[in-house]
C-alpha cells in the first residue's frame, strides 16, 4: 500500500509548481534577449519567451501526471 504524503508535504510540493511556468518564461525571455543583442534582431525575445512558456507547461503537466492515481 503506497504511503500518503501528509498535508504540509503536499502543500509544499504544489506550492513549488507555482513558479514553474514563470521561471521557464523568464529563462526563455533572457535567452531571447541575449540572442537579440548578439544578432541585432528584435523577434527572438518573443520566440524564446513562447518556447519558455511551452517548456514550463510541459514540465507542469509532467509533474502533475506523476500524482495521477489512474496511471
pLDDT at 4: 67
Residue 56 backbone dihedrals phi, psi, to 5 degrees: -65, -40
Q: How far is it, in rounded angstroms, from Cα 2 to Cα 23?
A: 32
- Could you tell me if 43 and 32 are in contact, meaning their C-beta atoms sit under 8 angstroms apart? no
Give the pLDDT confidence of 32-66 residue by residue, as tens digits.
Answer: 999 999 999 999 999 999 999 999 999 999 998 98
Full domain range(s) for residue 30: 20-65
- Could you tell me if 36 and 44 are in contact, meaning their C-beta atoms sit under 8 angstroms apart? yes
The total domain count for the chain is 1
Q: What is the pTM of this model?
A: 0.82
Cell 495521477 belongs to: 68
pLDDT at 66: 86
Instruction: Let me know if residue 9 belongs to a domain.
Output: no
Q: Does residue 3 register a pLDDT over 90?
A: no
- The residue-averaged pLDDT of 20-29 equals 96
Instruction: Let me know if residue 27 belongs to a domain.
Output: yes
Instruction: Let me know if residue 10 belongs to a domain.
Output: no
Q: How far apart are the first and last CA of the chain?
A: 15
Amino acid at each position: 500500500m503506497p504511503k500518503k504524503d501528509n498535508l504540509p508535504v503536499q502543500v509544499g510540493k504544489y506550492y513549488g509548481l507555482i513558479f514553474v511556468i514563470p521561471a521557464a518564461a523568464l529563462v526563455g525571455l533572457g535567452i531571447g534577449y541575449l540572442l537579440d543583442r548578439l544578432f541585432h534582431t528584435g523577434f527572438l525575445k518573443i520566440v524564446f519567451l513562447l518556447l519558455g512558456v511551452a517548456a514550463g507547461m510541459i514540465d507542469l503537466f509532467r509533474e502533475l501526471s506523476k500524482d495521477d492515481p489512474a496511471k
